Amino acid sequence: MGTSFLLTPSPFPAQALGDPSVTIEQVTPPVLTSGALFPAEERIVQLFEKNTYSVVNIFDVTLRPQLNVTGMVEIPEGNGSGVVWDGQGHIVTNYHGNALSRNPSPGQVVARVNILASEGLQKNFEGKLVGADRAKDLAVLKVEASEDLLKPIKVGQSSSLRVGQQCLAIGNPFGFDHTLTVGVISGLNRDISSQAGVTVGGGIQTDAAINPGNSGGPLLDSKGNLIGINTAIFTRTGTSAGVGFAIPSSTVLKIAPQLIQFSKVVRAGLNVDIAPDLIANQLNVRNGALILQVPRNSLAAKAGLVPTARGFAGNIVLGDIIVAVDNKPVKNKAGLDKVLDDYNVGDRVLLRIHRSSEDLEVPVILEEKS
């Protein structure tokens, strides 16, 4: 037996749905002119219009062989953002995407880069790898674009930032190109767990909305100067939760020029093997960086640093434990790397070490980190 439905009459008569006695003009409210923007709004609009041409859309590509096809086939693998660094076509972005994780050679095409032209059109270019630094989650690409199309970003000082000041993020979240979000600096000197699987120190925290696709794009101050490269968000849903992070411009200024010149970053270090935290804890080293090995003929060996060794009875004899560099405290291996990051090859540093039962000071000249 079929199902039956009881139809109830509508409480509104059919003729009440329209009123032929009125005109379109009578039921159309007046439209007010927008007038001039408030000064604060006008400033934000101008900052966006000025800087949006310095922001590019980056589509990662992977080169894969395919059956019955000669050569390689480009397969898109995700999108992000980047900034125009100079008039020579260098683009600074994050170390993101599967293309970079496969360790491509400098000069290899790893991305498609869309640059916004003055007429509002997106122009597409091959992005060739210049150099990448996984430790700082940064990479530099190069495009063969005309100089009139390249609008280099203006770089500001991240060292003078203060919590509470206004900031702006421009990027391509979820593929929506040239999107603006506004917020404040929420925190400074944060440790960022980047998409590249490394921890980057000195990060800027902001509540400006940063979502997938924003990574590699600029974080600007209220004057429109680059103060950071957006890199990560803290989220449990995959979308912005008001906690975003950017690599400070002071780090970008140190890394990008080296990548452009050398295709790599030349870092200063001691060139000794430092115990990972797990091993250090097992050896009851709770504070400082424990030296495991000191290569022969290294400057560290010439300075007299002592490695960890085994005694005659097979027991472990701890090597030198670095507790400070130029009076800057060192708590562990990561702390030592962070302190040495501010130095250059050839700099002379004074190490405070704990050896056996005494504390010593040892001067050492830094080498290029291998």
Active site residues: 96, 137, 215
313 neighbors 330 (Cβ within 8 angstroms):
no
Distance CA(283)–CA(262), nearest Å, equals 39
Please name every residue paired with 180 in a beta bridge, in sequence order, or none if there are none. 170
Question: Are β-strands 309-310 and 289-293 bridged in parallel, bridged antiparallel, or unpaired?
Answer: unpaired
Residue whose structure tokens are 């010439």: 302
- DSSP lists the bridge partners of residue 92 as 83, 140
Residue 220 makes CB contacts below 8 A (sequence gap 6+) with: 47, 51, 156, 167, 168, 169, 170, 226, 227
Q: How far apart are CA 195 and CA 95, in angstroms?
A: 8
Distance CA(145)–CA(205), nearest Å, equals: 33
Contact between 216 and 229 under an 8 Å Cβ cutoff? The reply is yes
User: Which residues, listed in sequence order, are joined to residue 169 by a DSSP beta bridge?
Assistant: 181, 219
Return d(Cα 149, Cα 157) in angstroms, integer: 26
Pairing outcome for strands 226-233 and 273-274:
unpaired
CA distance 177 to 180: 9
| 3-state SS class at 308 | coil
